[in-house]
């Protein structure tokens, strides 16, 4: 059961409601969304007087949700969740473009990438400092040093920032430096990390697992939201299938479906999905046409020398071409690209 509070509900009204629910044997989850407070009440099998609850002060509506994901589903909130990060919208009518290198390698590399993507119209700068690598012997990222550079370059170029976190420690550190924290595909069901991400006050970019169903993906978001952090951005990045001509199989139907099932923003990562530079622009257009709220794209000043994911990284010129092609397409589907506030 989910209780949606009125926009102007008071702290007293909320705590009165929570007390009543607990007295009735419910476990409660208080979700501070972007605009309103929602209370999830789970675990009860006994009949409850929904009308009585609905008549309590501050309550807008009480819903019985049959889906396993109760707080992120469209039934709770019909309109799209729109997040605000550093002057940029994520979700809603405006598209968000996140771009930057796979890994932060140096100040020069990051700054070059940031300036380039900024000029072409990107809104958020990506850059990995903690890299989950298949091999223990591969480059694992610059860690806190990389975060410092990311924060510095973000400030210098006026771009919001996003970076991947992989455990409790990197989450705590990254939360001090960057605007959006990413949980990667391999950690989509690292439930401990999801819970911790639900306890901070920063947006979480949650990538779909390599073999996660749409329902499992939404349940992972529900983990975060049920801890109180309603600011989750879903990201489709390709699933693992038998097809080996692309790195993964980009599942855009999952994007269109997720947009129907949840009010959370859904973006697409065509770089990891395809693993091939020459497919990134086409798949970016397809993602927007399918209804995605944004893109996250790997751009490197010189892909040939990238420490990771070179073959799928665009150079600044290619990225600029991609953005140019995206503009008319966005309009054609009734969306618009937005520009970062600082010029």
Site for its own copies in 282-311 (CB under 8 A): 282-283, 285-291
Among 176, 333, 336, 341, binds its own copies (CB under 8 A): 333
Q: Are strands 83-85 and 88-90 parallel, antiparallel or unpaired?
A: antiparallel
**x/- track of binding to its own copies for residues 221-240 (CB under 8 A):** -xx--xx-----------xx
Burial (CB < 10 A; 0-12, 13-18, 19+), residue 15, is: exposed
Let me know the angle formed at the C-alpha of 325 by 328 and 83, rounded to the nearest 5 degrees.
Answer: 70
Task: Establish if 171 lies at the interface with its own copies (CB under 8 A).
Answer: no
Q: What is the DSSP letter of 315?
A: P
Q: Which residue has the tokens 């399918």?
A: 290
Which residues 177-196 are close enough to bind its own copies by CB under 8 A? 186-187, 189-193, 195
Task: Establish if 134 lies at the interface with its own copies (CB under 8 A).
Answer: yes
DSSP H helices, the chain, are 11-23, 50-54, 107-120, 144-157, 168-177, 191-197, 214-226, 252-261, 270-274, 277-290, 316-332
Residue (106 or 253) nearer to its own copies, CB: 253
**Shortest distance, position 81 Cβ to its own copies, whole Å:** 19
Residue (82 or 256) nearer to its own copies, CB: 256
Which residues 10-29 are close enough to bind its own copies by CB under 8 A? 27
Distance between CA 88 and CA 93 in Å, rounded? 12
Task: Establish if 243 lies at the interface with its own copies (CB under 8 A).
Answer: yes
Task: Establish if 120 lies at the interface with its own copies (CB under 8 A).
Answer: no
Among 125, 159, 204, 279, binds its own copies (CB under 8 A): 279
Q: What is the DSSP letter of 211?
A: T
Based on C-alpha coordinates, what's the Rg of the chain?
20
Among 16, 30, 42, 175, binds its own copies (CB under 8 A): 42
**Shortest distance, position 115 Cβ to its own copies, whole Å:** 28
Let me know the angle formed at the C-alpha of 69 by 66 and 73, rounded to the nearest 5 degrees.
Answer: 85
Q: Which residue has the tokens 């929570």?
A: 18
Task: Give the count of residues interacting with its own copies (CB under 8 A).
Answer: 71
**Shortest distance, position 192 Cβ to its own copies, whole Å:** 4
């Amino acid at each position: 059961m989910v209780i949606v509070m009125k926009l102007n509900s008071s702290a007293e009204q909320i705590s009165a409601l929570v007390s009543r629910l607990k007295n009735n044997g419910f476990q409660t989850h208080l979700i501070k969304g972007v605009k309103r407070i929602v209370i999830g009440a789970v675990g009860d099998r006994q009949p409850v007087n929904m009308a009585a609850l609905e008549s309590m002060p501050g309550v807008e509506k009480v819903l019985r949700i049959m889906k396993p994901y109760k707080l992120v589903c469209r039934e709770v909130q019909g309109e799209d969740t729109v997040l605000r990060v550093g002057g940029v919208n994520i979700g809603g009518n405006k598209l968000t473009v996140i771009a930057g290198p796979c890994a932060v390698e140096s100040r020069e590399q990051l700054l070059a990438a940031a300036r380039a993507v900024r000029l072409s119209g990107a809104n958020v700068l990506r850059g990995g400092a903690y890299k989950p690598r298949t091999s223990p012997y591969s480059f694992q990222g610059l860690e806190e040093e990389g975060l410092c550079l990311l924060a510095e370059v973000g400030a210098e170029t006026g771009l919001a920032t996003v970076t991947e976190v992989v455990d409790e420690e990197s989450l705590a550190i990254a939360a001090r430096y960057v605007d959006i924290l990413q949980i990667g595909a391999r950690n989509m069901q690292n439930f401990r990390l999801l819970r911790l991400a639900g306890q901070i006050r920063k947006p979480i970019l949650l990538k779909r697992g390599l073999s996660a169903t749409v329902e499992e993906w939404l349940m992972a978001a529900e983990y975060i939201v049920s801890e109180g952090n309603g600011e989750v951005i879903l990201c489709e990045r390709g699933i693992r299938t038998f097809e080996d001509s692309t790195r993964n199989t980009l599942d855009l139907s999952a994007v269109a479906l997720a947009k129907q099932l949840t009010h959370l923003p859904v973006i697409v990562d065509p770089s990891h999905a395809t693993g091939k530079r020459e497919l990134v622009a086409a798949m970016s257009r397809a993602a927007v046409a399918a209804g995605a709220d944004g893109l996250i794209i790997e751009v490197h000043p010189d892909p040939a020398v990238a420490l990771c994911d070179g073959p799928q990284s665009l150079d600044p010129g290619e990225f600029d071409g991609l953005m140019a092609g995206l503009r008319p397409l966005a309009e054609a589907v009734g969306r618009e690209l937005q520009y970062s506030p600082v010029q």
